[in-house]
Structure 1
């Protein structure tokens, strides 16, 4: 089963491969990773924050269209609204600057809770987490304990972009690390344009 921490994967793919929006097809990418490991892919779960229509209408429209297409393809999608924080105005030269920062809240927690719940229900033998977020290391410990209680082996893997420009070469602690090359990633792009008309 796949668990995509979309914004984390996108940020690392941007650094490693130069992609400027989350243009990967999660079904294709998960199938490719499973093919490399000899695993049978099952459900794909996709977790992301989305911007508000007021703060960022272009990207809100992009995500609305993208999420609809993913759900139609059978992907289980979980979203949370982005929260916005404004830094106080400062001066760069003589020009006042008002900087707005978007933050994702609650996605990591939801992903972790779903991992635990689905492990307890024996819904997977292998969980591939598409993320390098070390905050998820604590849930890895919990799932390994669940495996001991259920007297079965649960495999946890962390899949992430790798290459000479990658900003981190580490997966989530205590998982099996799967390094995705640029050729593998680029073979799994979604060619569709989800931007709203006129954007």
Structure 2
């Protein structure tokens, strides 16, 4: 039976890492987005072993309509576009706005925890055979270790030229390094701020 592959994207981490790796410094924040389904397909096609893409789970913050109405509408349009494929599952949590906002930026809160919980919960439920985590956030390593200890196969992904997750004192798990060509093939050029 072909293994079911679930790709978990820490979207803000993926987006900002891509901007750092492939775009000129000072590029507008709306540039450099990627299409989660295209990213996941590249990863699955690049695997050494067979696998069928079962789901792409995207974790990201959502701007508050009260604080950032234009950004919130753009985020919702982007979510609607990505969700047209039933394999894409979006997990969004409202951004937290500090008292000093907008001088101090809004922050994602709870996204990494939601991703870690789902990575482990879905492994326990047998929802996937191979879990691929695309993030550079080392806080997620314990979740990867737990999934591995549960007997699921885990892999990670990162943009070439950036850091990658690994188990302590190890070169594992296997890392899918996506390069500039992969990034170009996965970019989402849609201007979601346009009505």
Unaligned runs of 5+ in 1: 89-97, 148-153
Name the counterpart of 1:91.
Answer: none
Name the counterpart of 2:3.
Answer: none
Name the counterpart of 2:40.
Answer: 30
Aligned equivalents of 1:58 and 1:161: distance in 2?
Answer: 29
Please tell me whether Structure 1 or Structure 2 has the larger radius of gyration of its CA atoms. 1
Give yes or no for contact 1:49–1:82 (8 Å, CA) kept in 2.
yes
Matched, 1:132 2:136: yes
1:106-185 correspondence runs (5 A): 106-147=110-151, 154-163=152-161, 168-173=162-167, 174-185=172-183
Q: Under a length normalisation based on structure 2, what TM-score does the superposition of the two structures give?
A: 0.84
Q: Under a length normalisation based on structure 1, what TM-score does the superposition of the two structures give?
A: 0.82
Aligned equivalents of 1:28 and 1:71: distance in 2?
Answer: 13
C-alpha deviations, 1:135-163, integer Å up to 9, x for none? Answer: 0011112112211xxxxxx2211111123
Which stretches of structure 1, 4 residues or more, deviate above 6 A after TM superposition? none
Match of 1:2, SS state, is strand
Q: Between Structure 1 and Structure 2, how many residues are aligned?
A: 178
Unaligned runs of 5+ in 2: 1-5
1:1-40 correspondence runs (5 A): 1-18=6-23, 20-21=29-30, 23-37=33-47, 38=49, 39-40=51-52
Name the counterpart of 1:79.
Answer: 92
1:190 to 179, 188, 191: 188
Q: Which moved more, 1:68-77 or 1:133-142?
A: 68-77
